[in-house]
Amino acid sequence: MRSEPGFRGAGSRTPSPGAGDVPEAGWSGPDWAPFRGPEPEEDDIWVEAPDEDALLEPLGDNAEVWNEPDWTEPEHSGPGWAGPGAVSLEPAAAETGRAPRRQAGRRGLRGLFGAHTSDEERRDPAPSRLAYKMERLWLRPGLRRLVRIGLPMAACAMAASWYFSDETRRAEVASYVVTTRDWVQQRPEFMVEMLAVDGASPELTQAVREATQVDLPLSSFDLDLDRMRADIEALSAVREAQLRVRPGGVLQIEVSEREPALVWRSRKGLSLLDSEGVRIAGIEERGDWPALPLIAGDGANDAITEAMNLVAAAQPLQERFRGLVRMGERRWDVVLDRGQRIMLPESQPAQVLERLIALDEAHKILERAVTRVDLRDPARPTLRVAAASIDQLRAIMAGSIQKVSE
Amino acid sequence: MTDLYQSQRMMRRMRQQALDRGVIAILDVGTFKIACLVLRFDGETRFRESDGIGSLAGQAGFRVIGAATTRSRGVAFGEIETMNETERAIRTAVQAAQKMAGMRVDHVIACFSGAHPRSYGLEGRIDLDDSVVEGGDVARVLAACDVPDFGHNREVLHAQPVNFSIDHRSGLGDPRGQMGNSLSADMHLLTVDTQPIQNLLYCIKRCDLELAGLASSAYAAGISALVEDEQELGSACIDLGGGTTGLSVFIKKHMIYSDAVRIGGDHVTVDISKGLQIPLSTAERIKTFYGGVVATGMDDREMIEIGGDTGDWEHDRRTVSRAELIGIMRPRVEEILEEVRARLDAAGFDHLPAQQIVLTGGGSQIPGLDGLASRILGQQVRLGRPLRVQGLPQAATGPAFASSVGLALFAAHPQDEWWDFEIPSDRYPARSLKRAVRWFRDNW
Quick check: A106 and B309 CB within 8 A? yes
Query: Is residue B139 in a domain?
Result: yes
Residue predicted with more confidence, B148 or B335 = B335
Which helix (H) or strand (E) segment is A49 a member of?
Answer: none
User: What is the pLDDT, as a whole number, of residue B431?
Assistant: 60
B287 touches chain A (CB under 8 A): yes
pLDDT category of residue A1 using cuts at 50, 70 and 90: very low
User: What is the pLDDT, as a whole number, of residue A168?
Assistant: 92
A145 touches chain B (CB under 8 A): no
Quick check: B279 and A21 CB within 8 A? no
Query: Is residue B356 in a domain?
Result: no
Rounded mean pLDDT, B39-47: 65
User: What is the pLDDT, as a whole number, of residue A155?
Assistant: 96
Quick check: B285 and A113 CB within 8 A? no
User: What is the pLDDT, as a whole number, of residue A152?
Assistant: 95
Quick check: B95 and A135 CB within 8 A? yes
B91 touches chain A (CB under 8 A): yes
Quick check: B67 and A27 CB within 8 A? yes
pLDDT category of residue A154 using cuts at 50, 70 and 90: very high
Q: What is the pLDDT of residues A197-247, one digit of tens each?
A: 888 788 888 888 888 877 777 888 888 888 888 888 888 888 888 888 888
Rounded mean pLDDT, B64-86: 89
Q: Classify residue A147 by its DSSP letter.
A: I
The pLDDT of residue A159 is above 90? yes
Tell me the chain A residues in contact with residue B397 when contact means C-beta distances shorter than 8 Å.
15
User: What is the pLDDT, as a whole number, of residue B50?
Assistant: 55
User: What is the pLDDT, as a whole number, of residue B443?
Assistant: 78
User: What is the pLDDT, as a whole number, of residue A29?
Assistant: 43
Residue predicted with more confidence, A77 or B338 = B338
Q: Which residue of B has its CA nearest to A12?
A: B367
Smallest CA–CA distance, residue A154 to chain B, in Å, is: 26
Domains and CATH numbers, chain A: 48-125 (no CATH), 136-183 (no CATH), 191-257 (3.10.20.310), 260-401 (3.40.50.11690)
Q: Which residue of A has its CA nearest to B88?
A: A126
Specify burial of residue B309 (Cβ count, 10 A radius: 0-12, 13-18, 19+).
Answer: middle
Rounded mean pLDDT, B26-31: 91
Rounded mean pLDDT, B196-201: 88
Quick check: A27 and B103 CB within 8 A? no
Distance of CA B348 to the CA centre of its chain: 21
Query: Is residue B233 in a domain?
Result: no
User: What is the pLDDT, as a whole number, of residue B221?
Assistant: 93
Query: Is residue B182 in a domain?
Result: yes
Quick check: B369 and A10 CB within 8 A? yes
- Window from A340-349, B138-147, B160-169 with minimum mean pLDDT: B138-147
User: What is the pLDDT, as a whole number, of residue A75?
Assistant: 40
User: What is the pLDDT, as a whole number, of residue B423?
Assistant: 66
pLDDT category of residue B53 using cuts at 50, 70 and 90: low
Query: Is residue B328 in a domain?
Result: no
Quick check: A132 and B69 CB within 8 A? no
Smallest CA–CA distance, residue B330 to chain A, in Å, is: 15
Spatial contact of A243 and A225, defined as CB atoms under 8 Å apart: yes
Rounded mean pLDDT, A329-336: 88
Distance of CA A156 to the CA centre of its chain: 33
Cβ contacts from A onto B, under 8 A: 165
Q: What is the pLDDT of residues B92-107, one digit of tens each?
A: 999 999 989 888 898 9
Quick check: B316 and A21 CB within 8 A? no
Q: From the list B284, B367, B393, which residue is nearest A11 (CB)?
A: B367
Q: Please give the Cα distance from A372 to A364 (Å, whole number).
A: 14
Quick check: A78 and B366 CB within 8 A? no
Quick check: A27 and B208 CB within 8 A? no
Rounded mean pLDDT, B255-273: 92
Q: From the list A26, A37, A81, which residue is nearest B307 (CB)?
A: A81
Residues of chain A numbered 80-99 and touching chain B (CB < 8 Å): 80-81, 83
User: What is the pLDDT, as a whole number, of residue A277?
Assistant: 79
Task: Please give the tally of structural domains in chain B.
Answer: 1
Residues of chain B numbered 97-156 and touching chain A (CB < 8 Å): 98-100, 102-104
Q: Which domain holds residue B150?
A: 120-190
Tell me the chain A residues in contact with residue B364 when contact means C-beta distances shorter than 8 Å.
10
pLDDT category of residue A116 using cuts at 50, 70 and 90: very low
Residues of chain B numbered 21-40 and touching chain A (CB < 8 Å): 33
pLDDT category of residue B1 using cuts at 50, 70 and 90: very low
Q: Classify residue A39 by its DSSP letter.
A: P
B76 touches chain A (CB under 8 A): no
pLDDT category of residue A94 using cuts at 50, 70 and 90: very low
Residues of chain A numbered 96-115 and touching chain B (CB < 8 Å): 106, 109-110, 112-113
The pLDDT of residue A86 is above 70? no
User: What is the pLDDT, as a whole number, of residue B426?
Assistant: 59
Query: Is residue B151 in a domain?
Result: yes
Q: Which residue of A has its CA nearest to B290?
A: A35
User: What is the pLDDT, as a whole number, of residue B114?
Assistant: 84
B361 touches chain A (CB under 8 A): no
pLDDT category of residue B354 using cuts at 50, 70 and 90: confident
Q: What is the pLDDT of residues B122-143, one digit of tens each?
A: 888 888 877 788 777 888 888 8
% residues pLDDT > 70 (chain A):
69
Quick check: B305 and A35 CB within 8 A? no
A5 touches chain B (CB under 8 A): no
Tell me the chain A residues in contact with residue B383 when contact means C-beta distances shorter than 8 Å.
10, 13
Tell me the chain A residues in contact with residue B69 when contact means C-beta distances shorter than 8 Å.
29-30, 68
Residue predicted with more confidence, A193 or A38 = A193
- For residue B186, the number of C-alpha atoms closer than 13 Å in the C-beta half-sphere is 16
Spatial contact of B307 and B281, defined as CB atoms under 8 Å apart: no
Query: Is residue B185 in a domain?
Result: yes
Smallest CA–CA distance, residue A25 to chain B, in Å, is: 8
pLDDT category of residue B401 using cuts at 50, 70 and 90: very high
Rounded mean pLDDT, B263-277: 92
Smallest CA–CA distance, residue B352 to chain A, in Å, is: 27
The pLDDT of residue A271 is above 90? no
Q: From the list B67, B207, B281, which residue is nearest A75 (CB)?
A: B281
Query: Is residue B253 in a domain?
Result: no
User: What is the pLDDT, as a whole number, of residue B430?
Assistant: 56
Query: Degrees (nearest 5) of the Cα angle A365, A370, A374?
Result: 85
Residues of chain B numbered 191-210 and touching chain A (CB < 8 Å): 206-208
Rounded mean pLDDT, A134-146: 88
